[in-house]
Amino acid sequence: MKHFLSFLSILLLLFGLTLKAKAVDFQQAITDKKPSIVLIYADWADDIDAVLGQFRGLEAEYGSRYNFVELNIASPEAKIFNKTYHIYPNLPYVLLFKNKAKTTRAVARDCILNGECIKEKLDIFVK
């Protein structure tokens, strides 16, 4: 039983490292050739768990076509981001970037939570 638990712990650790390595930071995402989807959120925002779940589900589905970035406004990176893109007080929302430039002001929380709405925005975005 101890060997199984050790094996399981190692497996979970490796799986966690693999997921973490997949993440792309904001600067890398917007300078990459792939379009980028940036979720700006706060831990205290309404429906944040549902929004993060939906966003991560989109990443699982569209990760080969887009860079996905989660930007918590409490992070030091958010201060730099805010100087250029002005974080709105009504969090969370998504900004879309293509060709190293912001292409839309914001996709609101209601659209993010509506799977069809956000998928439609993403499909229009790459055209």
Q: Could you give the angle at which helices 115-125 and 48-62 cross, rounded to 10 degrees? A: 50
* pLDDT mean by block of 10 residues, the chain; 127 residues: 42 36 61 82 88 91 88 82 75 82 76 87 78
In this structure, the strands spanning 93-98 and 107-108 are antiparallel
* pTM for the structure as a whole: 0.73
pLDDT at 56: 92
Give the model's pLDDT for residue 19: 36
Q: How far is CA 80 from the centre of its chain?
A: 17
The whole-number pLDDT of residue 30 equals 65
Largest CA distance in the chain: 54
Query: Domain ranges in the chain?
Result: 24-125
Assigned architecture for domain 24-125: 3-Layer(aba) Sandwich (3.40)
Bridge pairing between strands 36-41 and 67-72: parallel
